[in-house]
Structure 1
Amino acid sequence: MLKQLGLKEYESKSFVALARRQRGTAKDISETSEVPRTRVYDAIRVLESKGLVETQHSNPQMFRAVSIDEAVNTLQSEYVERTESLRSALSGLEPTDEGDSTETTHEVWSISGDKGITSRTQQLVEGATEELMLVIGHESIFTEQLAEQLRSAQERDVNVIIGTVDEELRATIQDALPDTEVFVSGLDWLSRSPLPDDDTEISRLLLADREAILISSFTEARADSREHERGVFGRGFDNGLVAITRRLMATGLLPVNDPEAEEA
C-alpha cells in the first residue's frame, strides 16, 4: 500500500521496519526489513525528506518513524497535491481533434467495473439540477457515499425519486433518506429475467434531468464481485436509449394512480 502511495520498495520496507520499533540504527532496520544496509541510508534520506522519519545525529545515527496518524496524514496530503497537479496538467492538454464534433443525441458509451460506474453515478448525481430518478436493483449499490450524494442533491432542490426491487431494501433506503420518495418498483425484470438461462441482475438505473441515463448490471453468480459490473451510459434528449428508459422508469417508478404515471 505504501508503494501504491508513491514510496519505492526499500523505502516502504524501511518505514515499516521503523514503525514496528521505537527507534533503530541502519543495522537494525536492515535486519528487520531485509533491505541491504548500504541501501537503508538512501531510503531513510527519502523518508526524512517526506517527513516520515526523524534522525538523531548520534554515533551511530538513530532513526525513528513519525506516528502512524502523522504518517498517514502526510501521505494523504501529498497524494491530494499530486492528484490536483495531475488535474491541472491534464486540463491544460491541447486537443488534437478541435474540428471533430459529435452529436450528443447519439452518445452511448460502455463502462466496466464498479469504480468507473460508481464514478459516473457520482458525476450524474452531482451534476443534476432538476430531477434524479434512480432504481436500485441490488443492496450493494446503496452505499453511505451514494446516500450523502443524494442528500446533497436534495439540498440543491433536486427532486429525488428512488425505486427498489423489494420492501426490505426500500425500508433501508427510506431510513437513510427520510425526506426522499422511496418505494418498491414495478419493474420486476430488474432482478428476474423473463428469458431462460439469464441470471443477469440490473444493479442500477439512473436518469438525471431526464436526459442522461446510466444502466448497469452483473450476473447473479458474481453479485459479490463488483469488478464484474458492466454498464452503458447515454446522453441526449433524442437518444433512443434515453427515451426508452425514461418511459420504462416512469412506468415502474411512479406510484399507481399517480396522474403523472397515467400521463406517461
Structure 2
Amino acid sequence: MDNTSNQDQAIELLQQLGLKEYEAKSFVALARRKSGTAKDIGETSEVPQTRVYDAIRVLESKGLVETQHSNPRMFRAVSIDEAVNTLRTEYVERAESLRDALSGLEPTDDESVTEATHEVWAISGDQGITSRTQQLIEGATDEVILVIGHESIFTDQLAELLNGANDRGLNVMVGTVDEELQSDIQAKLPGVSVFLSELDWVSRSPLPGDDTEISRLLLTDREAILVSSFTEARRDEREHEQGVFGRGFDNGLVTIVRRLMATGLLVENDPKKGEA
C-alpha cells in the first residue's frame, strides 16, 4: 500500500471513529510531521487555513493534538499509540452509552409474546456474522460444535473464544474439511477436539454450477444454529458473506443441521447422540 492509499485509509477510518473530514485530514497531516503551523497543516492536508483552527480546537479537546503558544502557534499530534488508545476509549464509551440508551427504550409490542422457535433470520456481512458467532459461543453453557469451511474464518479472535469456552468446561468440537487446516487449528486449540469432518459438501457443492461455499456452521447447546456462506468468486470479499440464524431445539433448521452433523460423524461416540 503506497503513501496516498495509507493516508486516504487513515482519513476514512478516523471519520468512521467520529472525526469530521477536516479534523481527520488535519490530524493525518500533523501525524506525518513532528510539528507544524496552521499554514503547514493547510498545505499538507488541503484543508482551508481558516478551517484548520476549528479542526485543531476539536482535536485538542479530544486529546489528539498539543499546542505550543508561540508566534505563530505550533501544533503537533500525540503519538500514534496514544491517539489510537484515546479513540478506542471514546469509541467504547459511545458504544456503552448506546447500549444504555437502547436498553432504556420502551417496547412498542407485547413483552409477553415469546420468541417463536420456528423462525429463521438472515444476517449479512462479516461483522454481523462474526458478532453473532461471538454471542453464541460466549452464551453457550454446555456444547459448541463448529465446522469451518474456509481458513479465513479461523481468526485469532475465534481461537480465543473457543479456548475460552473450553476453559469454562464446555464440550468444544471443531471440524474442518482439510487436513492441513485441521493441523493448524489443532496447534492453536491444544485442549479442543479438532477433527476432519465428513461433511464434504461444506466446501464443495455436489450440484453443477453451484460455487457457494459454506464458510462456517456453528451449533451451540444443540438449540442455536448459525450457517454462513459466500460464493467462490467473492470469498475474499467478506462483506458479502451471508448467514442464517435459528434458535430452539425444535426449530426445523436447527433439527436438520443437528441431524446432518450426527450423520457426518461429528458427534460420534457422544452419549448425547441419541438425543438428535
TM-score by length of 1: 0.93
Contact 2:261/2:267 (8 A) holds in 1: no
Q: Is 1:122–2:134 an aligned residue pair?
A: yes
Residue 146 of structure 1 corresponds to 158
Q: Which runs of 5+ in 1 are unaligned?
A: none
1:136 to 141, 148, 152: 148
Q: Which runs of 5+ in 2 are unaligned?
A: 1-12
CA deviation string 1:113-144 (max 9, x = no partner):
11111111111100000001111111111111
Structure 1 distance, partners of 2:28, 2:270, is: 64
Structure 1 distance, partners of 2:238, 2:46, is: 37
Letter in 1 for 2:28: V
Contact 1:111/1:117 (8 A) holds in 2: yes
Contact 1:254/1:260 (8 A) holds in 2: no
- Give 1:90 deviation, angstroms: 1.0
1:107 to 115, 119, 129: 119
Structure 1 distance, partners of 2:66, 2:76, is: 5
CA deviation string 1:221-252 (max 9, x = no partner):
22222222111111111111111111111121
Structure 1 distance, partners of 2:84, 2:201, is: 46
Residue 91 of structure 2 corresponds to 79
Q: Is 1:251–2:263 an aligned residue pair?
A: yes
Contact 1:250/1:261 (8 A) holds in 2: no
For residues 147 and 87 of structure 1, do their structure 2 counterparts lie closer, same or farther at Cα, with a shift above 3 Å needed?
same
1:6 to 18, 21, 36: 18
Q: How many residues align?
A: 263
Q: What pairs with 1:172-187 in structure 2 (closer than 5 Å)?
A: 172-187=184-199
Contact 2:267/2:273 (8 A) holds in 1: no
Structure 1 distance, partners of 2:267, 2:44, is: 65
Residue 39 of structure 2 corresponds to 27
Letter in 2 for 1:10: Y
Secondary structure at 2:216's aligned position in 1?
A: strand
Structure 2 distance, partners of 1:25, 1:222, is: 46
Structure 1 distance, partners of 2:40, 2:133, is: 49
Letter in 2 for 1:170: Q
> Over aligned residues, Cα RMSD in angstroms?
1.9
CA deviation string 1:37-94 (max 9, x = no partner):
2212111111111111122222222222222222222111111111111111111111
Contact 1:251/1:261 (8 A) holds in 2: no
Q: What pairs with 1:83-94 in structure 2 (closer than 5 Å)?
A: 83-94=95-106
Structure 2 distance, partners of 1:4, 1:262, is: 47
Residue 30 of structure 2 corresponds to 18
Secondary structure at 1:163's aligned position in 2?
A: strand
Residue 56 of structure 1 corresponds to 68
Letter in 2 for 1:13: K
Secondary structure at 2:264's aligned position in 1?
A: helix
- Give 1:145 deviation, angstroms: 0.7
